[in-house]
Structure 1
Amino acid sequence: MRLVQVFVPNDSRVAVRKQLEEMGVEYLFTTEESHREGSIASFPVPSGAVDGVLDRLYDAGLDEDTYTVVTDAARANVPNADDLTERYAEMPKGNLGTSHAEIRERAEDLKPATPTYLAFAVVSAIVAVAGLLLDSAIAIVGAMVIAPFAGSTLSASVGAVISDREMVVDSATSQAAGLVVAYVGAVVMTLFLRETGFVPSELAVTRIGQVSAFLTPSLLTLAIAITAGFAGALALATDLPVSIAGVAVAAAIVPAAATAGVGTVWGLPVVVLGAVVLLLMNIVFINLAAYVALVSLGYRSSVIRSVRENTRISLRSGAYAVVVLLFIAVVVVTSAGTYQHLTFEQDVNQEVQATLAETEYSTLELVSVKTEYNGLSPSENGVSVTVTVSRTTDTGYELLADDLRAGLDGTTSRPVTVNVRFLDYQQSQPVESVERSKAFSAGSAAV
């Protein structure tokens, strides 16, 4: 519920009272003691009804610039509270959710002051680097919790939906500044750990499980970005805590930025490339998913119409146009690259499964399939595939890598480097199981 307080001049009091009574809204008028002649109307309404009720009052003659305060109401003991909540919860799209002013305020409240925002970006990157090099998922989750990127990322979608160009520009610049600062912090932290000997300089960072998880885009990382955007938008448009969705947003941003920093210090441009591509993909799809979610919830302000009606030649409008064009370019390039890589990943998985289904590899069990860049041109031939299988025999399977490579070359029409990793383990069956197996074999031979 929201408690709305508006200043009502004496000449508008009758009209305002009539509108509130027609809508079934309980209200109180309090005499206003100042230089203005009028009173304060106070009335509790559901969150989704704020805009609708105020619009009715404005249509009745109340000045839109009048003194208005909307606050949270933890408890509202009014006779028709349930009826109002049910009525406005079932309103058609376009009137659902919080008001434009409220969703703008909630998005802005997510982003702390610039010095604090940048400081938390650095701290989250440092904790993420520690988690990556320690191969600790718990430490990486800690980095996500303290990451400040939810507000700067989601506010771009909010600004686009409610036609607030200044918010869009501020969000874009904040995202860029935060990511740059996080990357620099990751580089400094990684360099400190390596040069002081806390982390061996000969460490094969690409073999660390947490690092390898953020080397290239994948369908699962794309799903994380999309669901994070939807969850963030839903939390902004409702009374749900946005901090929970903020962790999901950070999950798509912080580890990738930290991985890019680790790759820079270790002099691995392939790691940097893969992490940056993953980072761009996540940011683009978080923003798109949040925008689509807000539109589907009823926030349907037309950005194109607003630009056409309000565009003036100025430095601010020029900055807005540059941001929009850059974002569109990043969306096109990132979407094309993501689609290409995900299609390649799907072909690889299907071909690996088909190869291992052959009789000669029937004793192998597939553990994982990872695709990663091994050159600076991911769109051409700079891709390697690492297949991990488990086996219980001493058979070498010397031709498995060649068989996989031959199949992938034909399926993807791209030269692919194939690495096969074997996980060997021994198996000891219970004595009774072994004896039954021998007896069954002897019986079968006799027949």
Structure 2
Amino acid sequence: MRFVQVLVPTGKREAVVEVITDESIEYAITDETGTERYESVITLPLPTAAVESVLDQLRAVGIDEDATTVVLEAETVVSDRFDELDEAYANDSDDTTDGDRIARDELLARANELAPGIGPFVLMTVVSAIVATAGLLLDSPAVVVGSMVIAPLIGPAMSTSVGTVVNDTSLVVRGIKLQVLGGILAIISAAGFAFLLRAAQIVPLSAIEVFAIGEVSQRLAPDVLSLVIALGAGAAGAVSLASGVSTALVGVMIAAALVPPTAVVGIGLAWGTPRVVAGSAVLVLVNFIAINLVALVALWQLGYRPQSWFRTSEARSTTLTRIAVLTVALIILSSALAGFTYSSAQTAAFEEQTNAAIETELPPKMTMLDLTISYTGFPARTPQQVIITVGYPPEIDPPAVADAIDSRIESIASTSLYMGPEIPLVTQDYHTAISAANSNAESTATEANNTDSMGSITVELRYVAVEQT
């Protein structure tokens, strides 16, 4: 429900009253003495769905757009006529409009409120990027979520979409500028902060160790599910904005699609890993495009248009053009996501089959303690090294299983990764004695078997004798 107050220009009072009476709307009208331009103030309670229609009718009879109009949210209206009016407008809602959506003017006001001033926007963007970087390097989901809460990203995306559908060029330009500025600032802030952490040895980790951190590794290779998150965020943002409900939680969802991968781009720059930068940058671009595209489509489908019919035609042309451009860009970048997804599926299958094969080849008294696989290549990932740590009782000599495991891994690579069997593998056996009581390691033998070093996959088989306490 809304409580609407409108200043009525001099000479337009009778026409305004006639419109309101024809709509069976209860109203109160008082004289305006503050200026000669307006002669009265009309006050009327309206259902949310009726605000846009009634204001359009009032403007059609002479209330210009710059006349002061106040729309407030009403808690309760006690009136039988209001209930009938509410039901009538709910029944009149067609397929292209939602009876619960707010009016166009209210939507514009909310979009402008969500697009903050440049000072607060810059500050909050920098802080959120730094906090996200810290959370990723700490492997702390709670800190990463905190960075999403303070990120001011919902406003620019929604402003761009709202400005497009209602043909407000200044709002579109403002939204685009804030999105571009926010993305660049976030990357620079994350990269600068990560570089300081690395230079000061606060995070004394190698690139491999950094990108093995759980929160970081999750965002290295984007996949199709990342696109689903962004699409959902864009739709939720548009619907929450149009329905007049709080956008705070939806803002967190939008930030979830943008802030962490942007921070990973900065971390990749700080540690000098172009492949990480490229993968995360693709994810950021896909998410930005998806959020804008879905928000634009959702707002158009909800029935938002400019007031005048000739501006509606222009807005339709602009909206359809931007939808087409965003769709093409999303399809192109999504092909990269599909490649990442396929590569991830291949490597997952390789790891699962390798693990099962090793378990099958090991004798009953031997146990696989650890399996580590490192990869190379981008975007397609190829196994570079497989390290297998096997435990055995110290009272027995470990049986020779290297050749069997070597053969199984070669077979798996040729089927799950389409690496031909002509690629040789290097097998190295290490014998290490470890006391489970004091965890002191003592090397007893090295390199029991070494075939020709000609291939791209190195398989290291490490035997570990574990003394039971």
> Is the contact made by 1:120 and 1:146 (CA closer than 8 Å) also made in structure 2?
yes
**Secondary structure, counterpart of 2:172 in structure 1:** helix
Match of 1:314 in 2: none
Match of 1:281 in 2: 286
- The letter of the residue matching 2:80 is P
- Going from structure 1 to structure 2, the CA distance change for 1:86 and 1:363 (only over 3 Å counts) comes to farther
Match of 1:178 in 2: 182
> Is the contact made by 1:384 and 1:419 (CA closer than 8 Å) also made in structure 2?
no
**Secondary structure, counterpart of 2:75 in structure 1:** coil
Match of 1:383 in 2: 381
User: Does residue 1:111 correspond to 2:109, yes or no?
Assistant: no
The more displaced of 165-174 and 52-61 is 52-61
CA distance in 1, matches of 2:458, 2:312: 52
- Going from structure 1 to structure 2, the CA distance change for 1:354 and 1:298 (only over 3 Å counts) comes to farther
**1:403, distance to aligned residue in structure 2 (A):** 3.8
The more displaced of 151-160 and 270-279 is 151-160
> Is the contact made by 1:348 and 1:408 (CA closer than 8 Å) also made in structure 2?
no
Match of 1:89 in 2: 90
> Is the contact made by 2:354 and 2:412 (CA closer than 8 Å) also made in structure 1?
no
Match of 1:76 in 2: 77
**Secondary structure, counterpart of 2:107 in structure 1:** helix
> Is the contact made by 2:375 and 2:385 (CA closer than 8 Å) also made in structure 1?
no
CA distance in 2, matches of 1:306, 1:77: 38
- The letter of the residue matching 1:116 is P
CA distance in 1, matches of 2:13, 2:217: 66
The more displaced of 24-33 and 121-130 is 24-33
Match of 2:232 in 1: 227
**1:109, distance to aligned residue in structure 2 (A):** 0.8
> Is the contact made by 1:48 and 1:95 (CA closer than 8 Å) also made in structure 2?
no
**1:385, distance to aligned residue in structure 2 (A):** 7.1
RMSD (CA atoms) = 4.3
More strand by share: 2
Higher Cα Rg, which structure: 2
> Is the contact made by 1:32 and 1:39 (CA closer than 8 Å) also made in structure 2?
yes
1:374 pairs with one of 370, 374, 377? 377
2:265 pairs with one of 260, 281, 297? 260
**1:43, distance to aligned residue in structure 2 (A):** 0.5
CA distance in 2, matches of 1:9, 1:179: 46
**Secondary structure, counterpart of 1:148 in structure 2:** coil
> Is the contact made by 2:350 and 2:413 (CA closer than 8 Å) also made in structure 1?
no
**Secondary structure, counterpart of 1:4 in structure 2:** strand
CA distance in 1, matches of 2:300, 2:8: 33
- The letter of the residue matching 2:264 is T
Match of 2:147 in 1: 143
**1:309, distance to aligned residue in structure 2 (A):** 5.5
- Going from structure 1 to structure 2, the CA distance change for 1:420 and 1:50 (only over 3 Å counts) comes to farther
CA distance in 1, matches of 2:60, 2:191: 57
**Secondary structure, counterpart of 1:83 in structure 2:** helix
CA distance in 1, matches of 2:138, 2:297: 37
- The letter of the residue matching 2:274 is P
Deviations 1:226-252 (A, max 9, x none): 110011001110121011110011001
Correspondence list, 1:161-172, <5 A: 161-172=165-176
- TM-score (normalised: structure 2): 0.73
> Is the contact made by 1:94 and 1:300 (CA closer than 8 Å) also made in structure 2?
no
Match of 2:55 in 1: 54
- TM-score (normalised: structure 1): 0.76
- Going from structure 1 to structure 2, the CA distance change for 1:160 and 1:123 (only over 3 Å counts) comes to same
More helix by share: 1
Match of 2:337 in 1: 341
**1:186, distance to aligned residue in structure 2 (A):** 0.7
- Going from structure 1 to structure 2, the CA distance change for 1:131 and 1:16 (only over 3 Å counts) comes to same
CA distance in 1, matches of 2:235, 2:460: 37
Match of 2:126 in 1: 122
**Secondary structure, counterpart of 2:26 in structure 1:** coil
- The letter of the residue matching 1:145 is V
**Secondary structure, counterpart of 1:42 in structure 2:** strand
**1:155, distance to aligned residue in structure 2 (A):** 1.3
- The letter of the residue matching 1:119 is L
- What 5-or-longer segments of structure 1 have no aligned partner? 311-319, 365-369, 423-447
- Going from structure 1 to structure 2, the CA distance change for 1:241 and 1:71 (only over 3 Å counts) comes to same
- The letter of the residue matching 1:228 is A
- Going from structure 1 to structure 2, the CA distance change for 1:273 and 1:400 (only over 3 Å counts) comes to farther
The more displaced of 73-82 and 151-160 is 73-82
- Going from structure 1 to structure 2, the CA distance change for 1:356 and 1:180 (only over 3 Å counts) comes to closer
**Secondary structure, counterpart of 2:94 in structure 1:** coil
> Is the contact made by 2:154 and 2:254 (CA closer than 8 Å) also made in structure 1?
yes
- The letter of the residue matching 1:402 is E
**1:308, distance to aligned residue in structure 2 (A):** 7.8
**Count of aligned residue pairs for this structure pair:** 401
Match of 1:402 in 2: 410
- Going from structure 1 to structure 2, the CA distance change for 1:124 and 1:328 (only over 3 Å counts) comes to farther
**1:60, distance to aligned residue in structure 2 (A):** 4.2
CA distance in 2, matches of 1:207, 1:142: 22
Correspondence list, 1:28-43, <5 A: 28-34=28-34, 35-36=36-37, 38-43=39-44
User: Does residue 1:132 correspond to 2:116, yes or no?
Assistant: no
> Is the contact made by 2:122 and 2:182 (CA closer than 8 Å) also made in structure 1?
yes
Q: Percent identity?
A: 34
**1:88, distance to aligned residue in structure 2 (A):** 2.8
**1:17, distance to aligned residue in structure 2 (A):** 2.3
**1:255, distance to aligned residue in structure 2 (A):** 0.5
**Secondary structure, counterpart of 1:245 in structure 2:** helix
User: Does residue 1:99 correspond to 2:107, yes or no?
Assistant: no
> Is the contact made by 1:10 and 1:38 (CA closer than 8 Å) also made in structure 2?
yes
Match of 1:18 in 2: 18
> Is the contact made by 1:215 and 1:372 (CA closer than 8 Å) also made in structure 2?
no
- The letter of the residue matching 1:383 is R
- Going from structure 1 to structure 2, the CA distance change for 1:418 and 1:161 (only over 3 Å counts) comes to farther
Correspondence list, 1:152-167, <5 A: 152-167=156-171
- Going from structure 1 to structure 2, the CA distance change for 1:205 and 1:328 (only over 3 Å counts) comes to farther
